[in-house]
Amino acid sequence: MSKPLSRNTLIVASVLLFHGVALWALQTGLIQRVVEVLVPVQMLTEFIEPPKPRVIPPPALPKVAPAVVRKAETLPPPPMPLAIADPTPAPQAPVGVVAAPKALASITAPVAATPAPVAVPKVALPSSDADYLQNPKPAYPAMSKRLGEQGKVVVRVLIGVDGVVQKAEIYQSSGFERLDQAALMTAQRWRYVPGKRGGVAEAMWFNVPINFVLE
């Protein structure tokens, strides 16, 4: 039966075995591959940092309008105390009779004077009936007589301050041209008493009626 190996012998054998395996691995390039694999893994673990937690901002508080400070209402000053008359006379006050004030004379308000009515100046219209004018009668057209034409014509004339006609126009027609023209020529030839306003002669319009009647 063989003797068991001692402890020292096992340690020496393990060291020799480890060195032998290390030499074999070095010759075959196994150690270099292990180093190339382990080093990048170690570097990645150093550079990769855990993601930072997301910070959620707190919700914005609603804006509060600034309070309007109202000015203190100014209170009215307290009423001043009223003096109350004491009916009791002072011990040294002189006693006498106070005369009542004389009645004031009544003051009458001045009465507004009523304006006098404005006198309207009297107007006197022109006239053609004065005897001293000696105005001839209108001539009746012969053709109107033969045809039996008759009627009334009103001629409107502007009479100057000298009594002479300044303008003349037919105001109302008789319906016959010959009678109208005869009346217009007659009114223009006549002379007139000028119209007056307040006794002063002035130019005025005047209507002159002329009748043509067959006898």
What is the CATH classification number for the domain harbouring 170? 3.30.2420.10
Q: Domain for residue 103, yes or no?
A: no
Kindly state the tokens that stand for 144. Answer: 């109107």
User: What are the residue ranges in the chain where pLDDT is below 50?
Assistant: 1-2, 39, 41, 44-45, 47, 69, 72, 93-94, 96-98, 104-105
Q: What is the pLDDT of residue 82?
A: 58
Q: How many domains does the chain have?
A: 2
Q: Domain for residue 197, yes or no?
A: yes
Q: Is the pTM of this model over 0.95?
A: no
Q: What is the pLDDT of residue 14?
A: 83
Q: What is the pLDDT of residue 9?
A: 81
Q: Domain for residue 198, yes or no?
A: yes
Task: Tell me which residue range forms the domain holding 29.
Answer: 8-47
Residues 83-119: pLDDT tens digits? 555 555 555 544 544 455 555 445 555 666 777 777 8
Q: Domain for residue 24, yes or no?
A: yes
Q: What is the pLDDT of residue 104?
A: 47
Q: Domain for residue 60, yes or no?
A: no
Residues 160-171: pLDDT tens digits? 999 999 999 999
